[in-house]
Every structure is written in C-alpha cells, then in structure tokens.
Amino acid sequence: MEKGMSKKRGLIITLTTLVIFGVGLWTTRPMWHWFFMTMYRNPGILESVIAAFITGGIVFAISKKHGSWDCLENAGVAFGIMFVIATLIIAPFQLMYSQCKLARDLEVSEISKLPDIDPLAVRIMPMAVSKRYAEDALQYPRYRLGTGDITFINKRPCWVYPLVPDGKINFFILKDKGAVYVDMSTSEKNSIIVEQEMKIGVGMGITDWYKWQLYKRKYWVDYEDPYFIPTSEKELYIAVPIISYQYHFRFPTFYTVPRWEGIALINSKGQVEFLTPEQALRCPVLKGQKLFPERLARYYIGSFRYINGIINKVFYHKDQLEIAEYYQSEEQQNRKRQNKQPFLVKTKDGIKWFIACEPYGKAHGIFRIYLVDGRTGEIQFYQRPKTEALIGPVKACDYLRRANPIIDWNRMIPVEPIPVTIQGGRLYWEVRVVPKDASGVAYTAMVDAQSANVVELKKDKSIRQFISGGHKTRKVKSKKIPIGTAKEEITAMVVILQNGHEVQRIPLFPNQTVEIIPEKQK
C-alpha cells in the first residue's frame, strides 16, 4: 500500500514539475527564441542530435548486454563522437543547398543600363558621419542613440537613430524618447528630432522590448533591424521586416530557404500589426519606405556564387562572383562603424538596394551590379562587356587616393562607393572622403570606372549637377616642367568649370602625360 502511494506521489510530483516547467518556458519563450530559432533554422543540428542519441542508445545496449560497468560513460562518448561527425557532414550541405536552390529559383532580369539616381535624393552623407552629427548634438540626459537605419521623409533619405535609455537602471524604467533624423542628401549637418514616447521600443526592458512583444505574437520567424517612421499626424511607427523559412530536403539533410514574410508595424501606443508583403505595399504609413530586408538582399545575391553548382563553387569558379567589400580602415572596424553592401539608393525607378560584385579571386574589376527593389524584392543585374575592363569599387578607392597625394591618407578614408551612370551611360563610382573620426565629409569623388579619372566635388550642388549630367569639364594644356623641380609623381591640374563661376582644382587624370625636359634645355 505504501509502495503504491509512493509511486502515485512521485508521479504527481513529476507531472507538477513538468507543468510548472512548461508554463515557465511558455511565459519566457521570447527569452529562448535564439535557441529554438537556431534549431528551427538549421534542422541539421536536430538531425545530428537524433543520430547521436541512436548511436548512444545502441552502445548503451551493447555495453549492458556484455555486463560492462561503464554503460553510461560509453554511451556518452559515443553520443559526443557521433554528434561531431554528423554535424561536420551535414552542416556544410545544409548551408550550400539553401544557396544552390536560391541560385536556381530566383527570378533575375538583365537591364541595359543602370537607372538614373534621383538628383533631389542623392546619397551624400555616409553613415559614420551622420552618427557623429547626431551624437554631437544630443542634449537628452539618460538617453543615447540606438542602431542607425534609413528612412524617407518627404521623399528624401535620412539616417534615423532611435533615442533609447542609457544605463542598466534606465533600461528598465524609461521609455524610448523618439528618434533623430539626419538628412542623407547633404554633406552639411541637417538634423531633426521627433519626440514621441514609445510604449514598446528598441532599447527597453524586459517585456517592453519590441522583440519580446513580437515573439509572443509570431515566433518562428526572424526580425530584421527596425527603423522609425514619422507621420504627418505626429505619430511615430516602428517598422520591422520579417523573414520566414521554408523546409526542403536533399540527401543527406533537410535545409531551410529564407524568404520575405512581410512587415511588423508598431505604433507609439504599443499596438502591433503584421502585414504581408502585399499589405505593406498598400499601407499608407509605409508609402515610399523601404520594405525588403537588407540582409536578405545580400544573402540572395551572395547565393549566385552557386549558380553553376557546388563543384564549380569549390573547385573551378567559372563565372563565380564575390560581393566587393569597399575600403575599410582598422579603426572603423574596431569602432563597428563600417557600413557594408548593399547600399540603398533612390533612383528614378524607385528605391533600390545596390550590390556591386567582382570576379572570384584577386580580380577587382566590375563583374556585375545587382539591384534589388527596396519595396518588392525584384532582382535585376547590370553587366558590361569584359573587354571594357571597368574597375570595381575596391580599386576605385585606390585610384582616388593616388589622384590626391596631398591628403594625409592616414587620417582620411574613402567610404561607401556607389555606382552611378551619367553622360550617356558612363559608369562612375561615387565615393565619399571622410576623416577617420567621422567629423564631416571632406569631399565627394566621382571615379570613372573606365578611365579611372577622378573628379572632386565639394558642394552638394556640384554633386547633383554632376549626377544629372549638367557638370562640364575642360582640361588645361600641360606645361613643360623642368626636371629639377619635378617630384616623384608629377601632378598637373585640371580646371573644372561649373556654371561658369565655381572653380575647383584636382590632380591630373591618369591618361594625361606631362612632358619633362632637362634643366639645361630651358
């Protein structure tokens, strides 16, 4: 009787423990999203665990049958070894299969020329400078800037930084204050602050954190970086792109393929609305804003490395591309101020993610330029004949530094090269030169992708004129320079006339020559 009561009591305790654990896990499920989502996103991990459990169980049964005293220890060793082996086998296939399927299935169309950039929304101010401007003007105690992103206000691109609580105590007791907007279409400091206390926000804890609320409503997805959108009704919204995953099987593993699920929209009162891509396109709040996730755009284009299969990607590299990473200083990397591709650009055909790709290996020419529509996700690519020998964004920065040897390049860096076509479809790289401390924009350089000519533009008006094709140049004939006064690198000057009144001087284009005559022949 006592033995039966003891078993019943043990069963009740076990069930009660499981119920309490289950309720606790369900209540705190947003806290464990990273773990469960990792398993969901990478089914190969679960497959490895299952294979390891089966192997461990077999070893345990065999050890027990032979009367071994170390059954559990043998099973544990077998479990660990099998898990490592299975993971090493399955994980690479899982990662490659996803990109192979995307490379085969994604619809891509070729365009004959890049779309014209909207002259009124030219991307001039880089991210590092905008954050410096926003930080230097911050006058709110107990608040700091959150992660920056891009928002459009009155059809002009702006860097937006949320005002989030600063400090561990404030993290729990304060609400987000609003957001700082820095105009991207000018090199001058032009910023506004939209004050709005958010019931659910970016830098708030714990249950007021926006992801906590989103995970409670929609769990088996990933949420991209949020951005703040002000409206004419003085309301502030947080828009969060959503990525979901589709399961597929290919021997020897299941794998997932990411896709754009839509947008989560949060207002200042904490109300959450989930929108499908079609609904997001029709939403008045999101009109003119980017919708397609940035990281998904980069992942999609990176998948084209597998366009000719895994064998080609690993061994032959035929027609294989690489996303061209622009020049980065060590200081920028340490401060996490780097802004990688893709770059969001407003063109006359709409908002586009621009991703420049170079050929595999040590080649730095331009292979293809991909454009991902910032609202629909439609993919296009622009490719010029290989015989034109166009330089890519990485080497464009090198030519820029060579064209202006007077600048101390230990203190200045070129950032964010963006492709633009002007003057009958001629390709240029628009590069901003900024101090390492990001205290401003020294000038914007246009590097000709064909000739490597460099044109320096210091005023916003000049940049817009150049992009719209209204910028005229005239070369001055080279003067004879005595060899006794010539430096190691001879630099003649080119006079740039803008509307007949603004004059700017830049170093000699590479295709020009300077005649040097000995001193005695003067």
- What tens digit of pLDDT does each residue of 326-345 get? 655 444 444 444 678 999 99
Task: Please tell me the distance from the alpha carbon of residue 128 to that of residue 123, in angstroms, as a whole number.
Answer: 13
Q: What percent of the chain has pLDDT over 70?
A: 86
Residue 285 has pLDDT above 90, yes or no: yes
Average pLDDT for 239-244:
97
Under DSSP, the state recorded for 69 is S
Per-residue buried b or exposed e for 93-117, using 16+ beta carbons within 10 Å of the residue's own CB: bbebbbbbbbbeeeebeeeeebbeb
Higher pLDDT, 361 or 266: 266
pLDDT-derived band at 366 (thresholds 50, 70, 90) equals confident
Average pLDDT for 83-89:
94
Residue 378 has pLDDT above 50, yes or no: yes
Average pLDDT, the chain: 85
pLDDT-derived band at 7 (thresholds 50, 70, 90) equals confident
Q: Which residues contact 99 (CB under 8 A, 6 or more apart)?
A: 299, 302, 303, 305, 306
- Structure confidence at residue 236 (pLDDT): 95
- Structure confidence at residue 233 (pLDDT): 75
Taking each continuous run of H as one helix and of E as one strand, the counts in the chain are 13, 25
Say if pTM beats, i.e. exceeds, 0.95: no
- Structure confidence at residue 119 (pLDDT): 85
Q: Which candidate, 209, 144, 220, 149, places its Cα nearest to that of 178?
A: 144
- What tens digit of pLDDT does each residue of 87-110 get? 999 999 999 999 999 999 999 999
Task: Please tell me the distance from the alpha carbon of residue 431 to that of residue 456, in angstroms, as a whole number.
Answer: 10
